[in-house]
Homo-oligomer: A and B are copies of this chain.
Amino acid sequence: MNLKRIRTMGLVAVAAVALAACGNLKNSSFGSSSTSQTTTTGSKTTTTTGSTDSEFYQGVIKKGRYRTSKSRGVNVSQNDNVMNLKSFETGLLDVSKKVFSTSKYVYQEGQYINTSTVEKWLGRKSKSNPDGLNPKSNGKTGANTRNPIYLQQLEEQDYMIQSGSKLSLGGVTIGLGMNSVDYYTKVEYGATYETDISTTELTAQGKKMANTVLQRLRKKSALKSVPIVLALYKQSSNDSLVGGDMIAYVVSKNGSTTVNNWTALNWKNYVFPATSESKNSGANSNDESDFSSFKSHVQNFFPNLSGVTANAHYQDKSLKKLSVNITTKFYSETEIISFTQYLATAAKRYLPSGIPVEITVKSANGDIQSFLARTAKGSSYYTHVFSDQGDN
């Protein structure tokens, strides 16, 4: 698979979040449906993982096992920037929630497109790979003269409807992850070059490919008439500290085989504080100054604090989620406890309210030391100090 470009990745390790499912499955318990309780090993019943938070879908369990994707693992090999993998998946969930309600639908990993199909589709079109969605090679290797790889990753998500102990397919979401930069080598194991792809071009290419995918899926009998959501994601560059952004989606209903009424999504991820490279032009300056106040108080509070950064997720220019990353050089358990208490106070006072916030405190070597989170509606922070980290 010529797309499997495995390169070293140190760049990403430092910090930063992506679309970041803030993930408060608060007070999880058995799902509301009675069948979610039949999770015994070897059971023939199809059940669900259970979830009481309407922000999350329940997942499908079959014979006591989680039903994994038919193309499991493909996307991992497609992403040099892990942020793109995580934010692609959580972004697809967020888009899906606009169409498939979490209270009505149950989540199932994609069962209709298998690994070899995904690999073929992600490849270039050629004699040996007629199904490739990426353009034929034109034989050129210049950054602006070659045909780039537009489509970097593809994911299927299934949305099931539960009726008694039966689950039936209620809809499918297909995500196309489009490159904003295509990294390539001129010879095997050679130097890496880059072809930049404009948002206009990757969007046009993505919409065309989405129609091709839709036509192929409609040929499968199970997918003949269910709603199919098609979503475009713009991958961030490999040196970005944030993941990419969902840029558009469309719903194909009643078995339609073409779609054109796309809805644009103005979703953006920013890093706080802004750097000279990332001007954060779309971020709200009040949010940035709130974060600055928080950061300066926190950094004053403790010696040996290495870094305080945040990843801010915006939708339509309004802050939707804030993930704060704090790196410490502490050693003492009692210091971490006190610091965490202080953070809960400082976060409540300085950080924007009305949105989900998560704060992770990690040691310089990456072990998590404590974490705090508040839901959009919550006023106080849930906090947890980890003490089981064998961290040297």
Interface residues of A (CB under 8 A from B): 9, 12-31, 36-37, 39-41, 49-52, 56, 58-59, 61, 64-66, 68-69, 72-73, 75-76, 82-83, 85-87, 89-90, 93, 107, 109, 157, 296-297, 300-303, 311, 323, 325, 331-335, 337-342, 344-346, 348, 358, 360, 366-368, 370-373, 379-388, 390-392
Contact = CB atoms under 8 A, between A and B. Distances in A.
B384 A23 contact: yes
24 contacts: A14-B390, A17-B387, A23-B337, A24-B384, A25-B383, A28-B345, A29-B344, A49-B342, A49-B345, A50-B345, A59-B334, A59-B338, A61-B342, A65-B300, A65-B303, A66-B339, A72-B332, A85-B331, A90-B387, A358-B386, A366-B366, A366-B367, A371-B371, A371-B384
A27 to B, nearest CB: 4
Contacts of A383: 23-26, 28
Given A39-B342, A39-B345, A341-B58, A303 B68 contact: yes
Contact of A323 (B65, B66, B388): B388
A332 B69 contact: yes
Given A21-B385, A334-B93, A392 B9 contact: yes
Copies of this chain: 2
The secondary structure that dominates the A interface is: mixed
B384 A358 contact: yes
A177 to B, nearest CB: 13
Contacts of A360: 386, 388
Given A23-B386, A30-B348, A107-B334, 13 more contacts: A15-B388, A19-B387, A23-B387, A24-B384, A25-B340, A50-B341, A50-B345, A56-B337, A69-B332, A82-B391, A82-B392, A87-B387, A368-B368
Contacts of A50: 341-342, 344-345
Contacts of A18: 387-388
Given A66-B335, A85-B331, A109-B332, A380 B342 contact: no
B90 A12 contact: no
A332 B384 CA distance: 25
A222 B62 CA distance: 66
Nearest to A52: B380
B66 A382 contact: no
A25 B109 contact: no
A361 B338 CA distance: 25
A358 B384 CA distance: 10
B30 A341 contact: no
A380 B66 contact: no
Contact of A338 (B49, B342, B379): B49
A183 to B, nearest CB: 16
